[in-house]
Chain A
Amino acid sequence: MQTAEQIAPPSAERPVHYLNVDYGIRSWLFTKDHKRIALLYLFVITGMFFLGGLFALLIRLELLTPAADLVQADTYNKLFTMHGIIMVFFFLIPSIPAVLGNFVLPMMIGARDLAFPRLNLASWYIFVVGVVFTLWAVFTGGIDTGWTFYTPYSTIGSNTKVIPAAVGIFINGFSSILTGLNFIVTVHRMRAPGLTWLRLPLFVWALYATSIIFILGTPVIAITLALVGVERGFHVGIFDPALGGDPILFQHLFWFYSHPAVYIMILPSMGVVSEIVPCFARKSPFGYAFIAFSSLAIAFLGFLVWGHHMFVAGQSAYASLIFSFLSFAVAIPSAVKVFNWTATLYRGSVLLDAPMLYALGFIGLFTIGGLTGLFLASLGLDVHVHDTYFVVAHFHYIMVGGAVMGYLGGIHYWWPKITGRMYPETLARLAALIVFLGFNLTFFPQFILGYLGMPRRYHVYPDEFQVLNVMSTAGASILGLGYLLPMTYLIWSLRYGARAPANPWGATGLEWQTPSPPPTENFAITRPRSRRGRRSSRRRPRTSSMTRFSSTTRRGSACGSSS
């Protein structure tokens, strides 16, 4: 950089930022700005979330009574399948990485954008194509294999739209891979000078670990689902036992990805919590390195435990023993995180703002989800509660109680940065409480139901289970309300919310050093236009020039003493 850098003149009335720099649909659809792409993701993902939620609501309504009065068995099978596919592949997996990660990761490391902005936009389009395929499957008859696509039912048994759904997930997988690739290269190459690995915000560590799972796991599910498609489409036997195949092999390959996928959902959420807790406890994160490396440890161990989904599927007892043992090992890094968050809270000046409420909810619910996970990892117990509502409750505590809570917490936390507006705090706290209560009322009874032996995936059940099911359905209605409320007031705040300062929470991450909402190139100082010829657009400067990461800034995103 030979030329002197020029400080952009402070504009008088309306500062130009990434939202008002350009209007019109083209400026959004062809944007290469990671912040705008994040918002594009936000629109699609929110839509998918409410669609998946609608299916969940129908499921719960059917289960209100023991008999089949709302839907019949076939429809019910389709409902829970589509609920699972949409929520897992099109909401939970992309939610935090593609929305919040896309938005804040470059800012957190002091970069102007991701390493490959065009690739980033391409992954959004690929994602949308995947969504279109899946919606096509959903609206032209649905699919009833369960979100797991177990063979041979998915290849020869089912008469539903298996191939379009598999294609949708296959395509979506490429979007995940590209996002993961982008994040990894960005973290390696675009960090601000002086921002060493052990000073990275914990959210970045979590996203990095997630990206590793993306690039290592996703190709396996892609090839597996492609083979399901081939087997179904051309009647070529690969997994079908009638043609000499081994259906358990499908389960191995499926869970090789899909168990780590659980960590794709939960790790970014943990990252968000690791940002929020130190900020609202007004302390540095306790055990920074432990939290950071436990993310990597989870990503690593998460790949070694997939067999615990197959304890009763015909897997050998010897393999089950190994997988059971390894599954217990995953609890260690997860517990390290929980203990470190709690230690961060200890003697902090805890502020109970809405993001913090979600984070606290996360810690509690994730702990319950994790501990019941240990029950399920125990070989002997799992044989009894396998495929009961105990499992359903367990993974909803992880996915909804964990991942969704973290997502909502992150949305609230970074909302002022994203939109430049504050959300109404009182309403937000109320919503956080409603979500927490509604969630527990929905899923805690399911633990008991499962323990009593109610199997999952049936639309009818014996009369004696009705009380608990009614409680669960009531909770689901409250939970639904709890999700609609933030949606409403967040949209309201776009117009009527108070203007947000650059750093409303008194946090120390680099993303708070720039105005809310940030300018297109993230940080106020830009290089003069004349320098940005063809050559420099090809070889982009590695970092924003203002952000020499000073060693006085504390590591992680701990809050400064002043706010």
Chain B
Amino acid sequence: MTTHPGTAAHDMPHGDEAVGHVVPLPIYFAVFVTLLVFTGVTATVAFVDLGRFNIFVALTIAVIKASLVLLYFMHLRYSSRLTLLFVGIAFFWLGTMIALTMSDVVSRGWFGAAGLG
């Protein structure tokens, strides 16, 4: 971490150039409470048998929570499109890595023997 104001998050043409976007305090607290509620919900729902949808619900809640942190705590909502692009790229690549790896794991044995047999 250097002391240069070198990140994309900082130099955006905000309304107030000197300090970036100031998020109103009530939003922070609202986000905080929402996050806590979601934590409770996800821990509770885990005990309900939803079949394969348990993991689906758990991950949806996690994604919502992460998005809240990203958008408000990390000011992504007020950042430039360039920053959004970089974050998007990161998640896209992560998705690619998981998806293509799983394409192998899931489909092993589809054509008779595993691999090229």
Contact of B6 among A185, A248, A307, A319 (CB under 8 A): A185
User: What are the interface flags for A93-115 relative to B under an 8 Å C-beta threshold, 1 for contact and 0 otherwise?
Assistant: 00000000000000000000001
Known contacts A119-B2, A188-B8; A322 and B116 CB within 8 A of each other:
no
Q: Are B107 and A318 in contact (CB under 8 A)?
A: yes
User: What are the interface flags for A504-544 relative to B under an 8 Å C-beta threshold, 1 for contact and 0 otherwise?
Assistant: 00000000000000000000000000000000001110000
Q: Kindly state whether residue A320 has any CB partner on chain B within 8 Å.
A: yes
Q: Kindly state whether residue A548 has any CB partner on chain B within 8 Å.
A: no
Q: Kindly state whether residue A10 has any CB partner on chain B within 8 Å.
A: no
- 26 pairs, A vs B, C-beta closer than 8 Å: A119-B2, A185-B6, A185-B7, A185-B8, A188-B8, A248-B104, A252-B104, A253-B101, A256-B97, A303-B93, A304-B100, A307-B100, A307-B104, A314-B114, A315-B115, A316-B103, A316-B109, A316-B110, A316-B114, A318-B103, A318-B110, A319-B100, A322-B100, A322-B103, A323-B100, A540-B4
Q: Are B104 and A319 in contact (CB under 8 A)?
A: yes
Q: Kindly state whether residue B41 has any CB partner on chain A within 8 Å.
A: no
Closest residue to B93 on the A side, CB-wise? A216
Q: Are A319 and B103 in contact (CB under 8 A)?
A: yes
Contact of B96 among A189, A304, A313, A315 (CB under 8 A): A304
Q: Are B6 and A116 in contact (CB under 8 A)?
A: yes
Known: A118-B2, A252-B101, A540-B4. 19 other contacts (CB 8 A): A116-B2, A116-B6, A189-B6, A216-B90, A220-B97, A246-B105, A249-B101, A252-B104, A303-B96, A306-B100, A314-B108, A314-B114, A314-B115, A316-B111, A316-B114, A317-B107, A318-B104, A323-B100, A538-B4
Q: List B residues at the A interface (Cβ < 8 Å).
A: 2-8, 11, 82, 89-90, 93, 96-97, 100-101, 103-111, 114-116
Closest residue to B108 on the A side, CB-wise? A316
- In the docked arrangement, what's the CA distance between A304 and B110, Å? 22
Q: Are A317 and B93 in contact (CB under 8 A)?
A: no
Q: List A residues at the B interface (Cβ < 8 Å).
A: 115-116, 118-119, 185, 188-189, 212, 216, 220, 246, 248-249, 252-253, 256, 303-304, 306-307, 310-320, 322-323, 379, 383, 538-540
Residue numbers in B under 8 Å from A118 (CB-CB): 2
- In the docked arrangement, what's the CA distance between A310 and B108, Å? 13
Q: Are B4 and A317 in contact (CB under 8 A)?
A: no
Looking at chain A's contact residues, is the secondary structure mostly helix, strand, loop, or mixed? helix
Residue numbers in B under 8 Å from A303 (CB-CB): 93, 96
Residue numbers in A under 8 Å from B4 (CB-CB): 115-116, 538-540
Residue numbers in B under 8 Å from A379 (CB-CB): 116
User: Separation in Å of the B110 CB from the closest CB of chain A?
Assistant: 5
Residue numbers in A under 8 Å from B115 (CB-CB): 312-317
- In the docked arrangement, what's the CA distance between A306 and B7, Å? 31
- In the docked arrangement, what's the CA distance between A313 and B117, Å? 11
- In the docked arrangement, what's the CA distance between A188 and B80, Å? 13
Q: Are B116 and A311 in contact (CB under 8 A)?
A: yes
Residue numbers in B under 8 Å from A306 (CB-CB): 100
Residue numbers in A under 8 Å from B109 (CB-CB): 316
- In the docked arrangement, what's the CA distance between A369 and B106, Å? 33
Closest residue to A185 on the B side, CB-wise? B6
Residue numbers in B under 8 Å from A383 (CB-CB): 116
